Chain A
Amino acid sequence: MRIRTAVVAMVVLALVALSGCGGAGSKAVKIAILAPLSGDVATFGQSTRDGAMLAIEEWNAKGGVDGATIEVVVEDSQCNAEAAVSAANKVIDQDGVKFIIGEVCSSASIPVSEIATSKGVLQISPTSTNPSVTVAEDGTTKSTIFRACFIDPFQGLVGAKFAIETLGAQTAAVFLDQGNDYVRGLAEVFIKEFEAAGGQVVVTESYTGDDQDFSAILTKVKDANPDVLYLPDYYNTVNLIAGQAQEKGITAVLMGGDGWDSADLDVSVVEGGYFTNHFSADDTRAIVQDFVSKYEAKYGARPDALAALAYDAATILLQSMDQANSVDPIKVAETMASGTFPVVSGEITYDASHNPVKSAVMLQVSGGQVIYTDTVAP
C-alpha cells in the first residue's frame, strides 16, 4: 500500500511540475536554429547562427513579436540528414518549437522539411538551393517551407541579363559540366535567357569533372571569338579553364556564379571577370551597410553571404509573425507567401514555389581584388 501511495504521489507531483512548465512560457515564442556547428562546414553553421541571432536580438530589443519575446533553441544538425532529422524531432517534440530557421545544406534541409510539413511547423532555410526543399515530389509547393536564397538557375538569368545589358555582349560561349546539377542548371538558364534577350550562344561545350586539359574546347572558343565566356563551375575548375584560356590568348570576358566565391579563386587568371553572388559586404545600399556595421560591432568580423542570408531568413520570419499578429505557423506562412520583405540581400517576394524573387549582386575581379559592381534585379 505504501508503495502505491508513493507512486501516485510522484505522478501527481510530475503532473503539477509539467503544467507549471507550460504555464510559465505563455508570453514567449520559441524559434529553433538548425545549423552545422561541427564538421567540415562548421564555419557555415557558425556564420548562419550568428546572422540569425543578430536579427532575433534586434527584434527582442524592440519588444518581440505579437507581444511575446523570442526564445532561441540552437541545435547542431551537422549538414547531414540523420543528425538534422533527430535535431528537428527534438526541437519540435521536446521543446515545442513551431518555427525553424535552417538547415544550411540542401541534403539536410530536405528531410527536415518533410518533418516540418507533417507536423505543421514553419521552416525557412537561409541557404539551401535545391528546388526539392520547397517543392514536394509530386510538384506541389510545401505550404510551410520557404527559403531566403535564390535557387541556382536564377544566377544564370541574372548573368545573361548583365552580359547583354551592361556588358553589351552579343555572342557568348558556355562551358558546362554535364555531371554537376549546379553547373548545368546555371548554364542552361544562361543559354536560354541570353538567346531570349537577342544574344547568340556560339559555342556550348560540356566536359566531365575529371578533365584537366581544356585546350581542345578553348581552341573552338578562340576560333569563334565570343564577347563572353560563361563558366558557372566551382573555383577549382574555373581556375583551370581560365588559366588555359589566358594561355590561348582568349580575350572574352569571363563570367560565372557563386561557385567562384572562394579565397582560392585564382584572381590573376580571371582578372576582369564577373560573377553573381547572394550578397556583398561592399554593397552601398543603406540596409546592407547598417547590417555590416552591426555585425562587425557584435562579432568583430565582416559578415559573409551565409550570415547575411541567415539574418534575412530570421528577419523575414519575424516580420511575417509581426504582420500576421500571430504565432500560428499556418497564418505566418500565409503572410510570408504574400508579403514583401526589404532585407539585406534585396527586396524579397515569394513566387508560387516559395522561392524568393530578388536581386543578385554582380562582383568583378579587378586588380587582384573582388569588388562589388552592381545589384541586378531579374
Chain B
Amino acid sequence: MEHTVSVRGVDVQANGASLRRRDGMILNRISQGIFVVLGLFVLYVLGRALLQNPSVFIQQVMNGLQLGFIYALIALGYTMIYGIVKLINFAHGDVFMVGAFTSFYTIGTLELHRWLTWVAPGMPEGLATVVGTFTVILASMVISAALAVVVERFAYRPLRNKPRIAALITAVGVSFFLEYFGALPFAYTNNYITYPRPFEVAVYSAGKVSPVLMAAMWTIFVVALVIYGIFFVRGKRGDARAKLILRHPLLSFGLQFGGFLAVVLTLAGIRIETGGKVWDLSASNVTLVIMSASILLQVVLQYIVNNTRLGKAMRAAAYDKPAARLMGINVDGVITATFALGGGLAGAGGVLYATAYKQVHHLMGIIPGLKAFVAAVVGGIGSIPGAFVGSLIMGQTEVLAAGFISTPMRDAIAFSLLIIVLLVWPQGIFGEPPAEKV
C-alpha cells in the first residue's frame, strides 16, 4: 500500500526510499535560469567592449583595482572581527570615516605631512613627502584603532554573553552615533569638506613613467618569483624548511607589490597607435600609493595572523573561545587586539579613500562600508584572503558595471553579485563550511 505524507513541503514517500523536495523547485530553477541568462548577457557586453576598445577596457580594470584595494582595507576589518566575535561590526564604515577626518586635521591643521622638512630643512622634497604621507596614514591608523577599541570596550563587551542580535543592534546604534555626532557643528559639521592631499597628484602615462621605477618593480617581482620557484621545487622534494620560507611575508609582499605595480606601470607606460585607435593608458600616483599601502598592510596582517603568538591566540579564540580561555589565552585581550587591527586598517583605508576622492563628509563611510561588507561576504566572511579577493572582485564589478552597462545601476549590479555568489557558494568563495564542533 502506498501513501504519501507531506511534512513542511517535503514529500515523504513511505514505500520509496527517495526523499524529494518539490515546493519551490520550479521557482528555484526559474531564478537560476534568469541569473544564468543575465550573467551571459553581462559577459557578452563586457566581451564586446573589450574587443571594441581594449585600451578603455583595461583602463577600467585599473580603475577597478584602485577601488578594490580600498575596499580590501575595510573588508579585512569586517572579516577579522566577524571571524573572532561573530559580530558584523556595522560601525566599521564609520571608523573608516573617522580615519579620513583624522588625516584631514593632521594634514590641514597640523601639517604633519611636512614634519620632516621642519626637522631637517635640507631634505629632498620627494623623500619628505613619502615619509610625511606614511606618518599621516600611521597617525590615522592609531586614532582609528583607539576608537575601535573604545567602541568594543563600551558598546560590545558588555553584551558579549548576551544574544548575538543585541550586539548587532548596538553596532547599528554605534554607527548612527558616530555618523551624526560627526555632523555636529563642533565636530566635523555636515558639510562636504575639500580634503588636502598629502602630496601633489601626478599622472603617469606613456613617456612619463620613470624607466628606473618600472625596472625596479619588475626586478622585485622577478626576484621574488625566482625565489618562490626555487623553494617551491625544494619543498616538493620534501624540504620542510623550504615550505616555511614559501610563506615568508617578504616573499609574498615582493610577489604582490612587484607584480601589481610592474603590470600597472608597464600598461601605463606603453603607447601604441593602430588604425585610429590609440592605446594610451594612465595611472596616477594616487593609484600607486593606494595599491602599495594596501598590499603592504594586507601582508603585515597576514604575518601577524599566521606567524605571531597574537595571531595564534586570535586563531584559537576564533575557533573556540571557551577552550582558548582554558588554555590560558586572554580572550578579551585578543578581541581588543582584533578590533585595534581592524580599526587601524579601516583608518588607513579612510586616508587613502579621501586622498583618492579629495572630499570628506560625515556620511562618507556608509556606502564604502556596506560594499566592503558585501566584498567580505563574497570572499567568505571570516577568511582574510577571501576578504582581499572579494574586494578586488567587488571593485571590478562596480567599475565595469558603471563603465559598460549602466552607471546609475552600478550598485544594483554590485549587490546582485552578492546574491549570485551566495547562490553558488553559500559560504563565500574562500569560506569554510561550518565545522562540526564536538
Contact mask for chain A residues 217-253; partner B; CB cutoff 8 A; 1 contact, 0 none: 1011011000000000001100110011011110000
| Docked complex Cα distance between A96 and B21 (Å) | 78
Task: Name the B residues within 8 Å of A94 (CB-CB).
Answer: none
B80 at the interface (CB under 8 A from A): no
Whether, in the assembled complex, B179 has its beta carbon less than 8 Å from a beta carbon of chain A, the answer is no
Tell me which residues across on chain B come within 8 A of A249, comparing CB atoms: 203, 205, 282, 284
| Nearest Cβ on chain B to A252's Cβ, whole angstroms | 14
With beta carbons under 8 angstroms apart, the residue of B63, B359, B367 that contacts A215 is B63
* Pair B203/A212 contact, Cβ less than 8 Å: no
- On whether A247 and B63 interact (CB within 8 A), knowing A212-B357, A215-B399, A239-B359, the answer reads no
Within 8 A of A (CB), among B19-63: 53, 55-56, 59-60, 63
The 8 A CB mask of B200-211 against A (1 = contact, 0 = none) is 010101000000
Contacts of A207 in B (CB 8 A): 407-408
Instruction: Determine whether the beta carbon of B60 is less than 8 Å from that of A216.
Output: yes
A244 to B359, CA, bound (A): 11
Distance in angstroms between the alpha carbons of A232 and B124 in the assembled complex: 41
Distance of A225 from chain B, by nearest CB (Å): 9
Which chain B residues lie closer than 8 Å to A269 at the CB level? 358
Q: Encode contact with B along A168-212: 1 for CB under 8 Å, 0 otherwise.
A: 000000000010000000000000000000000000011110111
CB nearest to A242 among chain B residues: B358
Range of interface residues on chain B? 35 or more
Q: Which of A248-273 contact B (CB under 8 A)?
A: 248-249, 264, 266, 269
Q: Identify which of B56, B67, B203, B205 contacts A213 (C-beta below 8 A).
A: B67
Q: Is the CB of B192 within 8 A of A205?
A: no
Question: Contact at B56–A219, with CB atoms within 8 Å?
Answer: yes
Name the distance in Å between A188's Cβ and chain B's nearest Cβ. Answer: 16
Most interface-central of B67, B368, B410 (chain A CB within 10 A): B410
Does B152 have its Cβ within 8 Å of any Cβ on chain A? no
Q: Does B187 contact A (CB under 8 A)?
A: no
User: Are A213 and B398 neighbours in the complex by a CB distance under 8 Å?
Assistant: yes
B residues near A210, Cβ cutoff 8 Å? 367, 411
Give the distance to chain A from B73, nearest Cβ to Cβ, in Å: 15
Q: Does B223 reach chain A (CB closer than 8 Å)?
A: no
| Contact status B53-A223, CB under 8 Å | yes
**What is the size category of the interface that chain A forms with chain B?**
20 to 34
**Which chain B positions have C-beta within 8 A of A206?**
407-408
A246 CA to B355 CA in the complex, in Å?
13
List the B residue with the shortest CB-CB distance to A235.
B192
Q: CA of A58 to CA of B400 in the docked complex: distance in angstroms? A: 61
- Quick check: is B364 within 8 A (CB to CB) of the other chain? yes
Contacts of B55 in A (CB 8 A): 223
Instruction: Contacts A216-B402, A249-B205 given; indicate if A208 touches B408 (C-beta within 8 A).
Output: yes
| Shortest Cβ gap from B297 to chain A (Å) | 21
Interface members, chain A 337-376 (any B CB < 8 Å): none
Whether B358 contacts A266 by the Cβ 8 Å rule is yes
* CB-contact partner of A243 in B60, B357, B368, B398, under 8 A: B357
Q: Is B403 positioned at the interface, with any CB of A under 8 Å from its CB?
A: yes
> Please, which residue of chain B has its CB at the minimum distance from the CB of A223?
B56
The reply to whether B407 and A215 contact each other, CB–CB distance below 8 Å, is no
Alpha-carbon separation in the docked complex, A178 to B409 (Å)? 11
CA distance A213 to B286 in the complex (A): 14
Chain B residues with Cβ below 8 Å from A247 are: 201, 203, 284, 286, 356
B191 at the interface (CB under 8 A from A): yes
Decide: A244 and B357 in contact? CB cutoff 8 A.
yes
CA distance A177 to B192 in the complex (A): 17
User: Does B194 reach chain A (CB closer than 8 Å)?
Assistant: yes
A-B contacts at CB below 8 angstroms, number: 92
- Tell me whether A211 and B358 are in contact (CB under 8 A): no
Contact residues in B for A212 (Cβ distance below 8 Å)? 357, 359, 364, 367-368
Which residue of the partner chain, among A178, A220, A239, contacts B56 with CB atoms under 8 Å?
Answer: A220
B75 to chain A, nearest CB (A): 16
Q: A248–B282 contact, CB under 8 A? A: yes
CB distance from A271 to the nearest CB of B (A): 13
A243–B359 CB distance below 8 A: yes
Please indicate the chain B residues that have their CB under 8 angstroms from the CB of A246 in the complex: 201
Q: What is the chain A residue whose CB lies nearest that of B59?
A: A219
Complex Cα–Cα for A78 and B22 (A): 62
Within 8 Å by CB of B284, from A211, A220, A248, A266, lies A248
Check if B191 sits within 8 Å of A264, measured CB to CB.
yes
Residues of A within 8 A of B59 (CB): 219, 222-223
A269 to B282, CA, bound (A): 18
Q: How far is the CA of A213 from the CA of B359 in the complex (A)?
A: 11
Tell whether, in the assembled complex, residue A236 and residue B367 are in contact, meaning their CB atoms are under 8 Å apart: no
Cβ of B66 within 8 Å of any chain A Cβ, yes or no, is yes
- The answer to whether A239 touches B358, judged by C-beta atoms less than 8 angstroms apart, is yes
Residue of B nearest to A212 (CB): B357
Q: A210-B367, A248-B203, A249-B205 are in contact. Are A219 and B284 (CB under 8 A)?
A: no
* CB pair A240 B63 closer than 8 Å: no
For the complex, is B150 an interface residue (Cβ under 8 Å from A)?
Answer: no
Contact between chains at B407 and A211 (CB < 8 Å): yes
Which residues of chain B are within 8 angstroms of A240 by Cβ–Cβ distance? 357-359
A219→B359 contact, CB < 8 A: no
The reply to whether A216 and B357 contact each other, CB–CB distance below 8 Å, is no
B67 to chain A, nearest CB (A): 6
Across-interface contacts of B169 in A (CB, < 8 A): none
Using A210-B411, A249-B203 as known contacts, say yes or no to A243 and B193 having CB atoms under 8 A apart: no
Q: Please give the distance in Å from B74's CB to the nearest CB on chain A.
A: 14
Docked CA distance A15–B361 (Å): 62
Counting chain B CB atoms within 10 Å of each CB, the highest count among A215, A223, A240 belongs to: A215
Chain A 73-97: CB-based contact to B (< 8 A → 1; otherwise 0): 0000000000000000000000000
**A222 surroundings in chain B (CB, below 8 A):** 59, 282
**Contact code string B342-376 (vs A, CB < 8 Å = 1, else 0):** 00000000000000111101001001100000000
State the 10 A-B residue pairs at the shortest beta-carbon distance, nearest first. Answer: A236-B192, A216-B402, A216-B403, A215-B63, A243-B358, A249-B203, A266-B194, A247-B284, A216-B399, A223-B56
Q: List 5 A-B contacts (CB under 8 A).
A: A213-B402, A215-B66, A240-B357, A264-B194, A266-B359
Task: Give the interface of B toward A (CB within 8 A).
Answer: 53, 55-56, 59-60, 63, 66-67, 191-194, 201, 203, 205, 282, 284, 286, 356-359, 361, 364, 367-368, 398-400, 402-403, 407-408, 410-411
Which A residues lie at the B interface, using CB under 8 A?
Answer: 178, 205-208, 210-213, 215-217, 219-220, 222-223, 235-236, 239-240, 243-244, 246-249, 264, 266, 269
**Further 16 A-B residue pairs, CB within 8 A, beyond A205-B407, A248-B203:** A206-B408, A208-B408, A215-B67, A215-B399, A216-B400, A216-B402, A219-B59, A220-B403, A239-B358, A240-B359, A244-B357, A246-B201, A264-B193, A264-B194, A266-B194, A266-B358
